[in-house]
Amino acid sequence: MGKYSIGEFEEVVMLTVAILYGNAYGVTIKEDIEARLKRNVSVGAMRVALQRLEEKGYLISEFGESTAVRGGKRKKFFRVTPEGKRALDQVREARIKLWDAVPDIAFDFK
């Protein structure tokens, strides 16, 4: 497929981080995926995916300010890196090539 390796859920997480630019932290990412895609996301799966994507260099994170509302805990905000954008571009191009290669007859269910 190419230089980059991401799974379907990782792709969804990265795209959601981009959608939520500036406000992408665990809870907002989870809620946005659930709302847009009508699929449940476990906190554990979300954390693992975010950590894995950060280790691959596709996401970076930084902590926001602590707030009294969160009991002094700081939110960890995520952003897509240039390398992450290249990975997403490659996945999109591969999907388009596959869809373009499907002959019309393949989905003609008459």
Phi, psi of 39 (to 5 degrees): -135, 140
Q: For the domain that residue 60 is a member of, what is the CATH number?
A: 1.10.10.10
Q: Is the pTM of this model over 0.75?
A: yes
In a domain, 29, yes or no: yes
pLDDT digits (tens, 9 = 90+) for 86-110: 999 999 999 999 999 999 999 999 8
Query: In this predicted model, what pLDDT tens digit does every residue of 35-45 receive, in sequence order?
Result: 999 999 999 99
Tell me, yes or no, whether 69 lies in a domain: yes
Which contacts of 12-16 are long-range, i.e. CB under 8 A and separated by 24 or more positions?
A: 12/37, 13/46, 13/49, 13/50, 13/53, 14/53, 14/58, 14/59, 14/80, 14/84, 14/87, 14/88, 15/88
What range does the domain containing 57 cover?
Answer: 8-102
In this structure, the dihedral spanned by the alpha carbons of residues 49, 55, 59 and 60, taken in order and rounded to 10 degrees, is 120
